[in-house]
């Protein structure tokens, strides 16, 4: 077995385990940490595809910025065990059954799939270069890029305003 295949299996196991723990964990902080580990293992998959730039951007954007926003939101909401709605064991059991069935289906599909062997056409142009990505992002997709930044800013302001507690006057 090749080292790349062993690395793929290792990263796939980490991705599945941390994704399951993200959903199954009772503590929201632990869930966020498991999600960060899941994001890092997905970045490892990008590295296996030889997409280094995409892996680094994935780590910076998802594991860095988005998870920091998640953690701030969780901390601002001040989730307590007393306020938490307890789910019956049957829903947890259902989640485990669905997870196991989905994993079995995915593993079966993966085992029965056949790789396509053959030559592929190349254009000679490097589509992973930062220069090419910058030209496309800041020329063709400038308006959606700016809309996404405004949307994130409005969402962050909304979270702060919703989490702000009103002062009650004591008489």
User: How do residues 49-67 score in pLDDT, each as one tens digit?
Assistant: 888 888 888 898 888 877 7
For residue 123, is it within any domain? no
For residue 166, is it within any domain? no
What confidence score (pLDDT) does residue 14 get?
96
For residue 153, is it within any domain? no
Residue 12's pLDDT band (cuts 50, 70, 90): very high
What confidence score (pLDDT) does residue 57 get?
87
* Angle, vertex CA 12, rays to CA 102 and CA 36, nearest 5: 100
Say which CATH number the domain at 70 has.
Answer: 1.20.120.1200
The answer on pLDDT for 168 being more than 60 is: no
Q: Are 55 and 39 in contact (CB under 8 A)?
A: no
Number of domains in the chain: 1
What DSSP letter does each residue of 13-44 carry, written as one string?
HHHHHHHHHHHH-SSHHHHHHHHHHHHHHHHH
Question: Can you tell me the mean pLDDT for 127-155?
Answer: 83
What confidence score (pLDDT) does residue 78 get?
66
What confidence score (pLDDT) does residue 43 get?
94
For residue 152, is it within any domain? no
What confidence score (pLDDT) does residue 169 get?
56
- The pTM of the full predicted model, rounded to 2 decimals, is 0.58
Q: What's the 3-state SS for 117-163? A: CCCCCCCCCCCCCHHHHHHHHHHHCHHHHHHHHHHHHHHHHHHHHHH
7/13 Cα distance (integer angstroms): 10
């Amino acid at each position: 077995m090749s080292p790349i295949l062993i690395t793929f299996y290792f990263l796939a196991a980490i991705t599945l385990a941390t994704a399951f723990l993200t959903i199954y964990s009772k503590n929201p902080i632990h869930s966020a940490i498991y999600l960060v580990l899941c994001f890092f293992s997905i970045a490892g998959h990008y590295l296996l595809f030889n997409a280094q730039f995409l892996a680094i951007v994935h780590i910076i954007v998802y594991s860095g910025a988005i998870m920091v926003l998640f953690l701030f939101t969780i901390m601002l909401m001040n989730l307590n065990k007393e306020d938490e709605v307890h789910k019956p064991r049957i829903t947890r059991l259902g989640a485990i059954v669905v997870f196991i069935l989905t994993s079995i289906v995915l593993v079966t599909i993966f085992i029965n799939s056949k790789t396509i062997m053959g030559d592929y056409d190349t254009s000679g142009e490097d589509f992973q270069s930062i220069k090419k990505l910058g030209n496309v992002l800041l020329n063709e997709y400038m308006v959606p890029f700016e809309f996404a930044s405004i949307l994130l800013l409005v969402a962050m302001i909304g979270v702060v305003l919703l989490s702000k507690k009103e002062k009650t006057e004591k008489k």
